[in-house]
Amino acid sequence: MKKLILFIFLGCLVVFYACSKDLEPNDKTAESYLEYKDSPGAELHPEYKDLSDSRKTKSDKSEANNGSVSPNAEKTVYLTFDDGPTSATTDILDTLHQFNAKATFFMLEPSMRESPEVVDKIVEQGHAVGLHGVTHDINHFYKSEQSALKEITTAQETLQQITGVRSNLIRTPYGSVPYLTKSYREVLNSNGFKLWDWNVDSRDWSLSSDQYLDTVIGQIEELVNAGVTPIILMHDKQNTAEHLSILLNYLSEHGFQTKKIEENTQPYNFNCYQRCHRISIQE
């Protein structure tokens, strides 16, 4: 009898061991992915790489944007445009106006000084304005917590001088991962800034013609199926402007409402996991 009990006990141990082994590959999927993301070869151009941040893990989604993520949320979409104002911005504004769409522009300080009338127009047409720093140079912006803060506050002051709007919305150059470490985030946060990344990468910087629309629409559908509000990264580029109406048509036909980011909208930003690190001088 004792032998039988021992045999059953050992059998249970074997089954338990086998089951725990089975779990490992799933657990490691996310890790392997992060390892891939963390490898130097994967960091081709961080601002443009991160569509997969929205696909990565469920916890990332729920943690990232409590304010606008809900399975039953109305179909809201945030259009965001970086690196402006440029010569394409007026065309973008005209197209947005045709569709009565609202967007958020994360602007560079020197470009604002160059085209203050365009910055004014963005505000007059009811869009949100945010800050993207001064140099757009990784080595300058991320050199220290204070250099990042200085670029952002300089942009904030210029925007306020031009428009009278004091914005706390920021998007750091190339997105917050990997160089915006915890201490940088704390400094920006304690100065009242709201950090915004994205979960749809249009790749409009590299895709020619209207190809960027296919990638955007594909990602939107995936996010909406997962109950996540899309935040689309685009740029003030001529190609983006020329094909924007097709995207806005799609959004309109599929019942989406474009919204600008408000100061009190719960920010969405990338989770560092183990990916964030201070920039080195050589980089």
How many residues of this chain bind Zn ion (CB under 5 A)? 2
Is-contact 279 138, C-beta < 8 A? yes
Rounded CA gap, 200 and 52, in Å? 8
Residue in this structure with the two tokens 């929205």, named with its chain if needed: 54
Q: Which stretch binds Zn ion (CB under 5 A): 25-33, 68-76, 78-86, 191-199?
A: 78-86
Work out whether 83 is an interface residue with Zn ion (CB under 5 A).
yes
Smallest gap from residue 237 Cβ to Zn ion (A): 11
Identify the CA nearest to 171 among candidates 145, 190, 148, 200: 148
Q: Which residues pair with 170 in a beta bridge?
A: 131, 195
Residues 6+ apart with CB under 8 A from 211: none
The answer to whether residues 82 and 236 touch, using CB atoms and an 8 Å cutoff, is yes
Q: Considering only the stretches 3-11, 35-43, 76-84, 226-234, report the one whose residues sit in contact with Zn ion under the rule CB under 5 A.
A: 76-84
Residue whose CB is less far from Zn ion, 34 or 207? 207
Q: Name the residue type at position 189.
A: N
Question: Judged by CB, which is closer to Zn ion: 69, or 195?
Answer: 195
Q: Please report how close the Cβ of residue 112 comes to Zn ion at its closest, in angstroms.
A: 14
Of the candidates 125, 126, 87, 134, which has an alpha carbon nearest to the alpha carbon of residue 106? 134
Interaction between residue 50 and Zn ion (CB under 5 A): no
Window contacting Zn ion (CB under 5 A); options: 25-33, 50-58, 74-82, 236-244: 74-82
Please state the closest distance from residue 254 (CB atom) to Zn ion, in A: 28
194 neighbors 166 (Cβ within 8 angstroms): no
> Does residue 236 touch Zn ion according to CB under 5 A?
no
- In the complex with Zn ion, which residue's Cβ is closer, 61 or 235? 235
Q: Which of 53, 82, 151, 197 binds Zn ion (CB under 5 A)?
A: 82
- Cα separation of 229 and 282, whole Å? 38
Tokens of 188: 């920006």
Stretch that binds Zn ion, among 80-88, 117-125, 137-145, 262-270 (CB under 5 A): 80-88
User: How many Cβ atoms from other residues are within 10 Å of residue 41's Cβ?
Assistant: 6
CB of 216 to Zn ion, least distance (A): 17
Closer to Zn ion by CB, 82 or 204: give it.
82
The minimum distance between CB 123 and Zn ion, in angstroms, equals 20
* Residue 175 C-beta: closest distance to Zn ion, Å: 9
Residue 197 within binding range of Zn ion, rule CB under 5 A? no
- Dihedral sign, Cα of residue 85, residue 157, residue 66, residue 70: negative
Q: Which residues bind Zn ion (CB under 5 A)?
A: 82-83
